[in-house]
């Protein structure tokens, strides 16, 4: 039966290919593409269900096949024009790459899995879980929060062990040649050891910092004895229900090695921050988790993303622990285990909340590592030739790896129109009729597909924007890793950059260069359009294409113009009842949102009089715990008597917390598993092509102005202080703390909550994780030339 189905499918495919590679007339093509677009619109509007989705894709693919057929057979420049041919082939290759990625993503995303919630298993059947929290240089309060949240997970306490794996306090670090660094490491080690002791976690460090994160976790594997290993990055705090939602899969399938859950971030990435989209636009990674990983899950090919995942220890043991050949040990590990016949599961339910890089520079640094790591796997352990993988798994891994070549086509599309505008090189042979019948309809179809499939998790043009923003830097990284796959350049992201004022990212100059180039291109196109009117159509089309690139580059300028960060600590929207204890007077209130540094609350009755006495009042917030928390569930709170915000909200900050008070904070923040899905759902509204494009154009006009304003401000400031202070080194935060302690011995480790500008803000010190963004079909424009 399955053979019959496969045969039917192949037969239908071959028939379609046969029909679509007929060299029919341009008029017939135009009729076809207009009909296809109309049919797609009808399916979109009136049909629901998986068959309708398949029909939509099928109709769209017909148009794409027609375009590619035409493009490859009729539009390449003649050999008599070698320059045009070369550039034309580059553009063609870029388009082909995009189409291949589109096809692969359609295959992988053919039928994304939607899983039912796990049933609740009896406690005695549950396996023992070791929670690994590897850390390198994160702040103590972050670690305390994560450990507290991990310890608070809804699971038999005797089967849950939390390990803090400290690579910042290894013997090697403690004996650093630099006495300041050595002292800092020793201090960190002692402090964290004490913290773990108090919080009931296990502190684990090692002799040497070998093999980075993988080495760190492998070291812990030698000590841990549990059945399952749960990995959290230091800043990834789990919600209470994490294990309840995930462990059951291991009981169902003895050959299961991985349950991965999505990463959700409470703070914006720099692009979201600088374009102010965090609160209403889905994050960049949501497409990867909610579409690609679910798609891969269907084929048993979802993979490990470094954190927020459960792994079977016996499987890891069989493979010799976490793999460490490449700098993306997570994907590599999953890859090896898949090849050994182990299975993986992806649970599309947000169960952790994390932090991500805040500056554009650290964002790019992170992406460079992901990109290089994935390409390392591609080059060193090519999935195509990996024994043991099923073909579809190979395809899945290949797509996740080849995806990272996106910088090249993106840059090609950005620069291609200039070849005609500036140098008169014709790289695309077509007349206007054909351009409309093939290229224009193809672009429309592409937009429709992208919006239909991903519209709820990705606004129009945002994929392109992210690609462009990373493209400039990743292109470099790709070249270096391809040249020498065994020695990827491991850039340590500069940290400690202040975000207390608006400024340009230090990586901004390529974007200004690109903007200038494209602006020149657009002006030149307009100029030539006027002065060489014989080329109306062609120059108009190429000029429009270039102008759209200019808009893109303009938005890119906005993305690298760093806005100052007002909120030090990202907030999570919750709705919890609590009581405020003001000098013995207890007042009921509701907490609307909470962060590591504070919360916003609303009084259910009148504001107690005691709070009116001073500007700031120290109180305690008594939380009604959701989990089984022992003892006093209260937090020290500093209440500021400032005019309340919308809905009578008062912003309060937490005072310095004792280790056990972190459990209260964890319960408050991570107790309600629905908080996160609600937050994500609030952003996942379908963005139509029109509105999205309008928004994008708006940015394109506004953001360059802001960038240029920053540029002049920057210039003015640079003139004032010739020598800017060098950025603090990555691992010197503990040194700062030492200094702070020296200055204020009474209030040790109290500075985080007040967020003094002199202090290291909470950072996302990702080290090496592989989160390939999902593979969105990309639009491309094309130059038209009037018949030769």
Partner 1 sequence: MMSLGRASFHLCVGAFCVAAILAIGAPLRAQTIFMTAPPSVAKVQIKGPSSSAPSSQVAPRGNSSPAAKTPIAVSTGLRTEGPLAPGAVLRHLTNNIQGYRLAGEIGASEWPIYLTLAQARRKLQFQLGYLAAVSVMPEASTLTLMLNDEVVGVTQISAFTSVKTVVFDIPTGLMRAGFNSVRISTDQRHRVDCSVEATFELWTQIDPTQTGLILDEADAGIDNLADLGALLPDEQGALPIRAVLPQNAQPATVVRMLRAVQMISIMGRFEQPVVDAGPLLPGRYGVNLLVGPANQLIGQVGFDNLGVVDRPRAVVLPATPERRTTIIITGTTLAQVDEAMNLFLVATTPKGAPAGLRAAAAFPGYRLEGGQRIKMHDLGLVSEEFSGRLFRTGFNIIMPPDFYPADYGRATLRVGGGYASGLSSRAQLVVNVNERTAVSLSLLKTSGEVFKDNPLPLPLGFFRPGLNRVEIEAHVPTKGDDNCDPLSAIDAPNRFLFLDQTEIELPAIARVARIPDLAVTATGGFPYAGSAVRPKLFLPSFDEKSIGAALTVAAHLAIAAGRPIDFDIAAKPPGKGQGPTLAVAPFDAFDSGLLQKLAMPIADLREAWKDRIGAPPRTHAEEILSQTQAAARNRLVLQNNFPMACHAGLHLGTKHSALNRARFANIDYSAVASLLRNATNPNDLKQALAAQPTRDLFGEWDAKMRNETSWSHIVVSWFVRMREWGVAKFTDAGSWMSKSFDSTDGDSRLLTPDSLLAVGQNVVGDGVEDVWTVVTAPNADDLADAVGCLVDPRVSRQIAGRLSVLDVARARMNITPVDDPHFVATQPLSVGNVRLIAAGWLSLHALAYVLGAVTLAILLAAATRLFVRNIGRRAD
Active site residues: 167, 330
Can you read off the two tokens belonging to residue 706?
């802001």
Instruction: Show the tokens assigned to 417.
Output: 């129109």
H/E stretch holding 465 reads helix 462-483
Q: Which of 45, 46, 48, 114 binds partner 1 (CB under 8 A)?
A: 114
* Residue 320 buriedness (CB in 10 A; 0-12 / 13-18 / 19+): exposed
Q: Which is nearer to partner 1, 4 or 646 (CB)?
A: 4
Does 325 participate in binding partner 1 (rule CB under 8 A)? Answer: no
| Contacts with partner 1, 696-715, as mask; x by CB under 8 A | --------------------
CA distance 133 to 307: 9
Using CB under 8 A as the binding rule, whether residue 58 contacts partner 1 is answered as yes
Short-list 283, 328, 339, CA closest to 463: 283
311 in Cβ contact with 304 (< 8 Å): yes
Q: Does 19 bind partner 1 (CB under 8 A)?
A: yes
In 17-128, beta strands by DSSP E: none
Our finding on whether 420 is near partner 1 (CB under 8 A) is no
- Residues whose CB falls within 8 Å of the CB of residue 308, separated by 6 or more in sequence, listed in order: 231, 232, 233, 236, 238, 260, 261, 262, 263, 351, 352, 354
Contact 307, 231 (CB under 8 A): yes
- Our finding on whether 438 is near partner 1 (CB under 8 A) is no
Please say which residue, 530 or 719, places its beta carbon nearer to partner 1.
530
Asked if 180 touches partner 1 (CB under 8 A), the answer is no
Of 45, 46, 48, 116, which lies in the binding site for partner 1, with binding defined by CB under 8 A?
A: 116
Q: How far is the CB of 393 from partner 1 (least distance, A)?
A: 11
Binding mask 20-49 for partner 1 (x = CB under 8 A): x-xxxxxxx--xx--xx--x----------
Contact with partner 1 (CB under 8 A): which of 212, 432, 436, 535?
Answer: 535
Closer residue to partner 1 in complex, CB, 35/658: 35
Distances from the Cα of 225 to the Cαs of 89, 163, 257, in angstroms? 57, 12, 16
Least distance (Å) from partner 1 to the CB of residue 536? 9
Q: Please state, as a whole number, how many other Cβ atoms lie within 10 Å of the Cβ of residue 425.
A: 19
Please select the residue that binds partner 1; options are 37, 110, 398, 482, rule is CB under 8 A: 110
Rounded to 10 degrees, what is the CA torsion of 763, 766, 767, 770?
Answer: -170
With binding defined as CB under 8 A, does residue 9 bind partner 1? yes
Handedness of CA 289, 397, 413, 36 (dihedral sign): negative
Q: How far is the CB of 32 from partner 1 (least distance, A)?
A: 5
The piece of 533-541, 552-560, 565-573, 692-700 that touches partner 1 (CB under 8 A) is: 533-541
Does position 112 interact with partner 1 (CB under 8 A)? The reply is yes
CA distances from 766 to 117, 136, 212, 260, 331 (A): 30, 9, 12, 18, 15
Strand partners, 581: 586, 620
Choosing from 297, 464, 655, 661, the residue that interacts with partner 1 (CB under 8 A) is 297
How far apart are CB 267 and partner 1 at their closest, in Å? Answer: 32
Q: Is 436 in the site for partner 1 (CB under 8 A)?
A: no
Judged by CB under 8 A, the number of residues near partner 1 is 57
Q: What DSSP character marks residue 697?
A: H
Nearer to partner 1, 35 or 618 (CB): 35
Distance CA 8, CA 59 (A): 18
Closest to 349 (Cα-Cα) out of 588, 690, 139, 117: 117
Output 60 or 231, the one with its CB closest to partner 1.
Answer: 60
510 part of the interface to partner 1, by CB under 8 A: no
Pick out residues in 65-104 that bind partner 1 (CB under 8 A). Answer: 78, 80
The answer to whether 524 contacts partner 1 (rule: CB under 8 A) is no
Residues that bind partner 1 (CB under 8 A): 1-2, 5-6, 8-9, 11-13, 15-16, 19-20, 22-28, 31-32, 35-36, 39, 50-51, 54-55, 57-59, 62, 78, 80, 110-114, 116, 297-300, 392, 429, 431, 530-535, 786-788
């Amino acid at each position: 039966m399955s053979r019959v189905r496969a045969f039917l499918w192949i037969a239908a495919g071959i028939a379609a290919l046969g029909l679509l590679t007929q060299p029919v007339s341009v008029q017939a093509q135009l009729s076809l593409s207009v009909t296809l677009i109309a049919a797609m619109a009808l399916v979109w509007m009136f049909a629901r269900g998986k068959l309708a989705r398949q029909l939509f894709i099928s109709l769209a693919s017909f148009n794409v096949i027609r375009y590619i057929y035409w493009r490859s057979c009729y539009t390449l420049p003649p050999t008599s024009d070698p320059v045009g041919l070369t550039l034309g082939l580059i553009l063609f290759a870029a388009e082909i790459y995009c189409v291949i990625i589109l096809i692969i993503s359609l295959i992988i995303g053919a039928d994304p899995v939607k899983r039912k919630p796990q049933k609740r298993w009896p406690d005695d059947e549950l396996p023992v879980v070791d929670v690994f929290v590897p850390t390198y240089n994160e702040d103590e309060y972050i670690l305390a929060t994560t450990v507290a949240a991990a310890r608070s997970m809804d699971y038999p306490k005797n089967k849950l062990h939390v390990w803090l794996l400290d690579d910042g306090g290894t013997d090697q670090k403690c004996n650093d040649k630099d006495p300041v660094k050595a002292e800092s490491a020793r201090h960190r080690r002692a402090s964290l050891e004490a913290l773990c002791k108090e919080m009931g976690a296990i502190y684990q460090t090692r002799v040497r910092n070998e093999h980075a994160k993988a080495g760190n976790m492998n070291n812990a594997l030698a000590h841990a004895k549990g059945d399952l290993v749960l990995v959290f990055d230091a800043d990834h705090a789990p919600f209470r229900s994490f294990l309840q939602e995930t462990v059951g899969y291991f009981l169902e399938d003895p050959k299961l090695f991985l349950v991965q859950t999505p990463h959700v971030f409470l703070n914006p990435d720099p692009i979201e921050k600088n374009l102010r989209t965090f609160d209403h636009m889905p994050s960049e990674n949501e497409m990867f988790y909610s579409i690609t990983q679910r798609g891969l899950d269907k084929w048993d090919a979802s993979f490990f993303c470094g954190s927020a995942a459960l792994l079977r220890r016996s499987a890891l043991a069989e493979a010799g622990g976490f793999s460490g050949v490449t700098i993306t040990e997570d994907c590599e590990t999953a890859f090896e285990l898949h090849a050994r016949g182990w299975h993986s599961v992806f649970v599309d339910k947000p169960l952790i909340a994390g932090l991500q890089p805040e500056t554009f520079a650290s964002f790019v640094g992170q992406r460079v590592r992901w990109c290089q790591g994935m390409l390392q796997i591609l080059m060193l352990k090519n999935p195509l030739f990996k024994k043991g993988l099923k073909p579809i798994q190979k395809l899945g891994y290949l797509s996740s790896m080849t995806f990272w070549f996106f910088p090249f086509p993106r840059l090609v599309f950005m620069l291609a129109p200039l070849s005609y505008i500036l140098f008169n090189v014709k790289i695309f042979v077509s007349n206007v009729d054909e351009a409309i019948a093939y290229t224009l309809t193809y672009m429309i179809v592409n937009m429709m597909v992208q919006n239909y499939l991903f519209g709820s998790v990705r606004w129009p043009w945002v994929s392109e924007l992210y690609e462009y923003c990373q493209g400039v830097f990743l292109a470099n990284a790709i070249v270096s890793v391809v040249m020498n796959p065994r020695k990827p350049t491991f850039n340590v992201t500069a940290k400690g950059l202040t975000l207390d004022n608006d400024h340009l990212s230090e990586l901004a100059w390529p974007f200004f260069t690109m903007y200038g180039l494209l602006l020149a291109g657009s002006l030149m196109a307009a100029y030539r359009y006027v002065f060489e009117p014989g080329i109306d159509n062609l120059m108009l089309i190429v000029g429009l294409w270039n102008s759209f690139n200019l808009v893109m580059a303009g938005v890119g300028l906005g993305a690298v113009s760093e806005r100052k960060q007002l909120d030090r600590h990202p907030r999570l929207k919750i709705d919890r009842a609590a009581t405020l204890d003001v000098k013995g007077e207890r007042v009921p209130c509701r907490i609307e949102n909470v962060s590591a540094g504070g919360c916003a609350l609303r009084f259910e009755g009148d504001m107690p009089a005691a709070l009116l006495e001073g500007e700031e009042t120290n109180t305690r917030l008594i939380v009604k715990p959701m989990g089984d928390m022992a003892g006093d569930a209260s937090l020290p709170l500093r209440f500021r008597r400032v005019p309340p915000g919308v809905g009578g909200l008062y912003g309060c900050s937490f005072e310095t917390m004792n280790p056990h008070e972190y459990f209260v904070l964890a319960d408050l923040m991570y107790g309600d598993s629905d908080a996160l899905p609600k937050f994500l759902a609030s952003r996942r509204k379908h963005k139509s092509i029109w509105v999205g494009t309008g928004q994008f154009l708006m940015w394109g006009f506004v953001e360059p102005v802001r960038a240029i304003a920053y540029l002049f401000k920057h210039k003015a400031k640079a003139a004032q202080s010739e020598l800017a202070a060098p950025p603090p080194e990555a691992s010197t935060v503990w040194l700062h703390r030492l200094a702070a302690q020296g200055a204020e011995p009474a209030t040790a480790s109290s500075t985080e909550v007040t967020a003094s500008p002199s202090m290291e803000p909470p950072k996302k010190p990702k080290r090496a994780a592989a989160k390939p963004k999902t593979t969105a079909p990309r639009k491309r424009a094309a130059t038209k030339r009037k018949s030769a």
